[in-house]
Amino acid sequence: MSAKPNEQFWIEHLMRRAGFGATPDELKHYKSLGYHGTLNELLHPESIDNSKLERTIAEQGFDFLDPTDLKRWWILRMAFGKRPLEEKMTLFWHGHFATSNRKVRNAYAMYLQNLLLRKYALGNFHDLLLAISQDPAMIIWLDNQQNRKGSPNENYGREIMELFTLGIGNYSEADIKAAARAFTGWQTRHTDFFFNARQHDYGVKTVLGTTGNLNGDDVVSLLARKPQTGKHLAKKLITYYAVDEPQASYVNEVAAVYQASGGNMRRTVEAVFKHPDFCSEKSYHAKIKSPCELVIGTIKTLQITKLDGDLPSALARMGQDLFEPPNVKGWDGGQAWISTDTMMERFNFATRIAQDKFDAMEGYFSPSQLIYRQGLTNAKDVVDYFLNLLVDADVPESTRQRLIFYVSTSGQSREGKKATNQELLDAKLRGLTHLIMSLPTYQLC
């Protein structure tokens, strides 16, 4: 860490985790609230006016029947919304109840599912689990449309236990078969939930030791209140927000809040951010940024206002194709984000953001204007400014020296002509931004 961590330092850390980073103006606002004030605001998104975002969205005229528009819509929300934790939780639930439009093939149903995940983002888990069990996209995704009396389809019955609630090892194959029967007849019709009573199995079933004429509602209630569910969710939330390999005590404390609050996600998530391990050396720059964190964080830090239409495919190449997670388990995250392939994509995203794509006014950002506004004149100050801005100056001294050397070395412009000072400065500042965004630390969250 660059200096002795103070409250402001941890607010920046909180925003990288509970949100997608923050713009300089947003940081000023959060720092005025203090850590607990910030956390409180994040946990109560309903109290924050988000109408500017909604107006921006309305101006874009998105077509929610178009899968690519849907992805752009969500990126816009993540980049310009004022309720970062709500958006970050929505992404968490998308990875948890991972549904892919590659199979659903109905962008509008995916859009409705996304609204549902946002609505319950910090709500009660039982309510969310029930709503997702009746969600048309989910019903198509895990084949519950074809789960009929007399010939049950086990797909939903299995994944609701293995992935959505208890976790593997906490149920038997017989539990899965019985749960599948309880969800028979839970279908979708015209992008709506439809209970097909003729296909529902009203017989007696035993799920996790409870016997009766159980239906889907009963199974949802049973699963939501099991302590294993709290533990499973606690571990996933902590690894999503705080550290990749949490101490058992951290998991147990968060799980206990889940249990005591009856599955209140606002309280459960609050416990993740209030735990001493969250604001600690164990957690600081200790996670790999997801592609969304990398891309949206860059947009915020550099205050980029122009979003390219192909950002969704850039995210996909980095391994996070929104609305198309790799499978029902969602994204593994952590180390799995990094391969030579995805690393190269990250480097190339850096190039693209840093490069002078349009003229200076219309580009992603203008580094020379930025340093002019900051009143910076020498290479050392410029390097320190960008290192602070982009990576919290969390780099070895050798890196800093090498960057200063890079910026100070004059190059040749194209066609062998000596560059004008202006051109050289622009090239070097853009190269510097590219190099800093390609550093190991820039991949850390």
Please give the Cα distance from 20 to 224 (Å, whole number).
29
Amino acid at 278: F
| 225 CB burial (10 A radius; 0-12, 13-18, 19+) | middle
Residue 403 is a binding residue for another protein (CB under 8 A): yes
406-425 core/surface letters (b: 16 or more CB in 10 A; e: else) = ebeeeeeeeeeeebeeeeeb
* Interface with another protein (CB under 8 A), residue from 43, 312, 431, 437: 431
DSSP string, 7-70: HHHHHHHHHHHHSS---HHHHHHHHHHHHHHHHHHHH-GGGS--HHHHHHHHHHT--TTSHHHH
* Interface with another protein (CB under 8 A), residue from 127, 244, 277, 308: 244
Site for another protein in 246-275 (CB under 8 A): none
Residue 228 is a binding residue for another protein (CB under 8 A): no
Residue 405 is a binding residue for another protein (CB under 8 A): yes
Site for another protein in 344-373 (CB under 8 A): 344-345, 347-348, 351-352, 354-356
* Interface with another protein (CB under 8 A), residue from 307, 343, 389, 425: 343
For another protein, which is the closer residue by CB, 96 or 428? 428
Site for another protein in 156-215 (CB under 8 A): 158, 162, 168, 173
Residue 427 is a binding residue for another protein (CB under 8 A): yes
For another protein, which is the closer residue by CB, 76 or 311? 311
CB of 257 to another protein, least distance (A): 26
| Other Cβ atoms closer than 10 A to 299 | 25
For another protein, which is the closer residue by CB, 202 or 405? 405
For another protein, which is the closer residue by CB, 84 or 431? 431
Place of tokens 């198509």: 140
Residue 137 is a binding residue for another protein (CB under 8 A): no
CB of 42 to another protein, least distance (A): 25
Residue 153 is a binding residue for another protein (CB under 8 A): yes
Place of tokens 């028979």: 184
CB 224 within 8 A of CB 263: yes
Place of tokens 């109905």: 106
* Interface with another protein (CB under 8 A), residue from 60, 412, 418, 420: 412
Angle subtended at Cα 43 by Cα 271 and Cα 222, rounded to the nearest 5 degrees: 60
CB of 354 to another protein, least distance (A): 7
For another protein, which is the closer residue by CB, 108 or 406? 406
Residue 46 is a binding residue for another protein (CB under 8 A): no
* Interface with another protein (CB under 8 A), residue from 71, 83, 205, 434: 434
Residue 406 is a binding residue for another protein (CB under 8 A): yes
Question: Applying CB under 8 A, which part among 8-16, 214-222, 259-267, 431-439 lies near another protein?
Answer: 431-439
Residue 402 is a binding residue for another protein (CB under 8 A): yes
Residue 53 is a binding residue for another protein (CB under 8 A): no
CB of 115 to another protein, least distance (A): 26
- Helical residues (DSSP H) of 355-396, grouped into ranges: 367-374, 379-391
Please give the Cα distance from 385 to 144 (Å, whole number).
54
| Other Cβ atoms closer than 10 A to 206 | 13
Please give the Cα distance from 223 to 399 (Å, whole number).
51
* Interface with another protein (CB under 8 A), residue from 20, 325, 399, 437: 399
- Helical residues (DSSP H) of 216-336, grouped into ranges: 216-224, 227-241, 248-260, 265-274, 291-301, 311-317
For another protein, which is the closer residue by CB, 76 or 435? 435
Residue 18 is a binding residue for another protein (CB under 8 A): no
Site for another protein in 274-333 (CB under 8 A): 285-288, 317, 319, 326-329, 332
CB 95 within 8 A of CB 327: no
Site for another protein in 379-398 (CB under 8 A): 394-396, 398
- 185: its two tokens: 């007849």
CB of 243 to another protein, least distance (A): 9
- 166: its two tokens: 């208890």
Please give the Cα distance from 95 to 180 (Å, whole number).
23
SS (H, E, C) 65-85: CCHHHHHHHHHHHHHHCCCHH
Residue 422 is a binding residue for another protein (CB under 8 A): no
CB of 11 to another protein, least distance (A): 20
CB of 228 to another protein, least distance (A): 15
Total number of residues that touch another protein (CB under 8 A) = 71
* Interface with another protein (CB under 8 A), residue from 90, 155, 229, 301: 155
CB of 46 to another protein, least distance (A): 36
Residue 323 CA neighbour count, 13 Å, CB half: 29
